[in-house]
Each structure stands twice: as structure tokens, then as C-alpha cells.
Amino acid sequence: MNEKRTRHLDAAGPDTIENPMKKTTLLMTFLSLALFTSAAASVGFAAEDILLNDFEGAGYGTWKVEGTAFGTAPAKGTLPGQREVAGFEGKGLVNTYLNGDGTTGALTSPPFTIQRGFINFKIGGGGHETDTCMNLTIDEQIVRTATGPNDERLEWVNWDVKEYAGRKATLQIVDRATGGWGHLCVDQIVQSDVGAGRTLTGIQNSYHEACRPQFHFTARKNWLNDPNGLVFYEGEYHLCYQHNPTGLEGGNQHWGHAVSPDLVHWKELPIALRPDVNGAPWSGSAVVDWNNTAGLQQGREKPLVAIYTGAGPRFTQCLAVSNDRGRTWQAYEHNPVLGHINGGNRDPKVIWHAPTKRWIMALDLDNAFYALFASPDLKKWEHLQDMQKMAQECPDFYPLPLDGGSNKAKWVFVGGNGSYRIGSFDGRVFTPETPARAADYGNHYYAPQTFSDIPAEDGRRIQIAWMKGGRYPGMPFNQQMNFPTELTLRSFPEGPVICRLPTREISNLYGKTHKWKNQDVTPDGILLREVAGGLYDIELEADLGDSEEFGIKCRGEAVTCLPKRNELTCLGRGAPLQAVNQRIKLRILVDRTSLEVYANDGRVVMTSCFLPAPEDTGLEMFSKGGAARILAMEIHELKSAWPE
């Protein structure tokens, strides 16, 4: 008698064969599906199924267990205190109700190859998105996810994974929830050419919604705000951020986490920091501890150390460390490293000061002052200085060469709204040498932070800010970051000024490029019909001539130069802009929900969100009161940074 056989994937060695008759129900299910699948009937039998795990063994085998929710072996049905669990196959299943809903953890498969069109599984338990779920990960990116139905009966569901055929993947079953329905049940994970139950959709369509920015970072789902923990290590830019993983509004703060090889293409990783006994992890920074000053290194990789505010009843400053390139993080067991000082003291920014071989921390004292502290090891901190604030929250502190001269570096102290002072720093005292200057004149620019540990051979100071207050109607996410900018410090008659321009990596998205030279712009205007797509990087230099207004309409919104008033306007805001010999330069990034304008090589910047009509993707030059002349203009149509 011929007997159907199922391949069982074991990453510890070659595929093995096992008899699936111990689960008669499973066989009957798939035979039934085959009978009702006309496609299968028309081409013959589908390829045999590949069993990834049926959780019938004495342990979890090669799957990695973390935390306390999973125990050392699969559960045998309903656990003490739990409502009756039904719908699972055989005797064993994953059931994270071990010792109740208060336990948490994760169960991760070894890598496997996707060899069938569907991954079928049974799932029950809690329906907390991101917190009681099973995720399919490829290249460190979650590409499919599933949550329970808030029911103890497991049901068949499937993911359609045909697009990932031949790719290496891992599965992770996650229980991070501790309240009601804070557990998950999973059983019988199978690769098959026939989908069982309902097909789960959602993630595969993410990042291309109507109001999703296409080259600005957004969380896949839910709320984000302040950028945190910006650090570069081993070819990756790490962007952490304040994140509510369960809702579209602020609160329930965690550290979300994404990485990029080029500041353009971002991959969202699992959450880095979560609330603990010291409170929710509020804003902070991260560094590479190259010399292991904190003594936290384990293994070959240099430790990444996050310094953040524990927002408990009394705000304190805490550490967390990663010894695996930021993939997992552990809170320092002796937190906090800096106790409560005043009110909601918060948002530590830490930088290495090589001349004194110490770490320097800038901190908001939640009153009229910021403060500086120093430490040899990130654990013991000495108070150095208080200084009068020019803004609230989210300080940044860093050196920046003046006019490109490495021997003429100045220090910059930045507040939460981006305003900054230039001065000197001797390792103990920051001495301001300029008044506070505005960094941005747009509607949506807040909590800017710069990357730590950019390699010396690169030498750039790179900044990212939260575009606070944008609107994204009907979207599964809320809020976005600006496009990363490179900062330079240049001398002007009024003193040194920070100039910001998009990082050069924007060119990785260039599609078709259009060029013009010596083109007059009359009051009749010029409609740029040949440009299309709605995503643009625009660079132009113009002679304003005798015009009273000159500018460009971008998807219906005007960026306008007013020569007689020495002003630049956009989206209801104005900025001082002085023409040089009647000439101005403009650089404009246009995305689905944002307009960023950089004038005269980044001396003036306006960062704003907007909501253009989806069908209005056009560009139009205009001049009023006289003619202007485009001396040179390039418009690059941009591709989406997100995967298709």
C-alpha cells in the first residue's frame, strides 16, 4: 500500500522523513482541501508537504527558547487556570499561558528554505498585534505576521509566500503581553502547495499605501516620535525611535528599531527596548563602546550601548547593551546609572570626548537648564555644568569643523526644537559664542539627533529629526522622520551658521533625470509636463531678474521667493532668504506627505508635511511682476525606497 509521506525540516542536518499518520486529522484536512482544489486536480497531485514543526516532541528541538512563557517543552493541551484549549492536532502545541498571562518570551526556529507556496498553521489565543504573534522573517525583515483571535480554539490560517520561493526564512512565536489574553497558542506549521483555512493578508501590502511616505522612514504600523539611539556600526545605520507598538497615538513608549546600509532603505527590526522596573524607555542615545569601558562586551562584537531615560515614578537614566549588532538588547542589571535629579529630567545624549578619554552626557533637567555630565565608563557620572536652555527636551551636543577645517572645530549645543548655539568645549565647560539660532523654519521639525560613530574616513555629521504633527488619514502608521541631512558649519557675516542638505545617498533612488539651462520664466509660467511620478529631488539656480515673486509649485503647493522682502515662503511659513547677486539656489525634496526646502546651499531650511491630492503630481515654475531666469535646473524622479 502506498503511504503519503511528509518531509520534516531540521536545520541541524538534512531533511528527514517521518510518517504523519500520528495526526490523522491533519491528513484528512489536506485530502479534503485537495479534493476541492480544481487547480490541483487539473495538473495532478501537489508536491508533498514539508512539516516545520508539530510540537509533538519531548522538547522544542533546534528551536531557540527565550523567556519564561514557553517552558522547556510544548504544552499538552490546556494549562492550569486556562479556559479549555481546543482545535490543536495530536497531543502537543505551543501554549504560552504557562503560569498565567504574566509570563513572556519568544520561540525562534532555525533558518529554513521556503519551498512551497503556502505556510499553513493553527493559531489561537491573544490578538495583541506585535505582542502575541507569530512572525515570518526574511533578511531580518518581518514579511508576514499573525495574531490569535482572542479565542482558545485554534483555527487553520495560511500565508501566501510564493513571492519568497527559494529564500531563507525564520519563524518567531512571540509573547510580550502580560494582561488579558496575554498568551498565544500555535500548532502544526506546514509548508504546502495548498493553503489551509483563510489567507492572512496585510504586511505584504505595507509601505505602499496612498499616504505612506516613499523615501522617508515610517514605522510599519502605529505611532513613532523622537529619533533615539542613532549609531553607525559595521556598515549599518541604526535608527531607534519612540514607538507605541499597540496604537496610533503617543504613549506606551518603547524603542522601535530599524537599520539601513545607506540611510535610504530601512529594515524594521524587533523592538529594542521595552518598559521594565525602571519605567518606560523614553528618549536617549547610543554609542559603540570601542574600548569596552563599561565592561559589558560579551563575544567578538563591540558592544552597542543605549543610554536612555527610565520614565518611572522618578525619572532616571539607564543603560542597555547589545552584543549582537543591535539585534537583541539587555537592560543593565544595576540600572539606573544616574539617579533622579529634578522633575522629569530626561533625554540623555552621550558622546565620546577623546582628549579627556571620557563620555560626555547632555541632559534636560526639566527646568530652565540643560546639564553636562562626564563618565569614564558610562556607569559613574560626574556633574560638570548647568546651562540656560534655549529650548525644551532632547538635547544634542557634538563638534563640527568650521568651514571644513578639522583644526577649527567648534561645539554645537542643540535643543528640542532644533535651535542651537555654537561655542567651545574644554572637556568640562561649554562656552557659547553665538546667540541661539533657528535651525528650521518649516512646520514640522522636532527632536533632531545626530549619528554617533560615523567612521573618520566618512567624516560627516548626519542628522535625523521627527516631522512632528504630520497627518496620515486612514493609515496604519502615524508620524514620519525627515530625510537624513548632512550638517556643515560655515562662516557668514553674522558668525558661524549650520547648513543642512540631504545626504548624498538620496541618489540611490534616482530614476529619470530632466535638465534645463538658461530658461526664462515669464508671468505665463512653465508647466513641466514631462516630469511625472510625484516623488522628486529638485535642484535649481535662478536669477531673480525683475520678478516680484519667483518659485515652483510642487504638487499644488508653492515654494516662493520674494526678492523685495528677502523672504522664502512655503505652506504658510516664512524664512529669511537673501539673494546673492540676484541669484538664489533651491533644493526641494517632494514626497507623498512632505516638502523639504533647502535654500542657498542649506543656509535656510524649511521642513514641512502636507497632504496633496494623490492625482496632483505636477510641477510648475512661476514668476510674477517680471521675468526670472533658470540658470540651471535638474529634476530627478525618485523611486520608492520600500520593497515592492
> For residue 45, what are the contacts with CB-CB under 8 A and spacing of at least 6?
34
From first CA to last CA, the distance across the chain in angstroms is 47
Name the active-site residue from 226, 262, 364, 396. Answer: 226
Q: 500: closest CA among 433, 581, 399, 600?
A: 600
For the residues of 279-323, what is the DSSP string, one character each? BEEEEEEEEE-TT-TTS---SSSPPEEEEEEEESSS-EEEEEEES
The DSSP output letter for 20 is G
Q: 531: closest CA among 518, 540, 544?
A: 540
Please give, one letter per residue, the 3-state secondary structure of 23-89: CHHHHHHHHHHHHCCHHHHHHCCCCCCEEEECCCCCCCCCCEEEECCCCCCCECCCCCCCCCCECCC
Secondary structure class of 162 (helix, strand, coil): helix
Residue 226 phi/psi, 5-degree rounding, is -45, 135
Residue type, 78: T
CA distance to 361, 378, 399, per residue, from 352 (Å): 9, 10, 11
Residue type, 278: N
The DSSP output letter for 104 is -
Helix, strand, coil percent content, the chain, rounded in steps of 5: 5, 50, 45
What is the distance, to the nearest Å, from the Cα of residue 538 to the centroid of all Cα atoms in its chain? 25
197 and 151 Cβ atoms separated by less than 8 Å: no
**Pairing outcome for strands 6-8 and 50-53:** parallel
List, in sequence order, the alpha helices (H) in 121-164.
none
Buried b (16+ CB within 10 A) or exposed e, 419-458: bbbbbebeeeebebeeebbebbbbbbbbbbbbbbbbeeee
For the residues of 480-523, what is the DSSP string, one character each? -BPPPEEEEEEEETTEEEEEEEE-GGGGGGEEEEEEEEEEEE-T
Could you confirm whether 226 is annotated as catalytic? yes
* Residue at grid coordinates 516532541: 57
Catalytic residues: 226
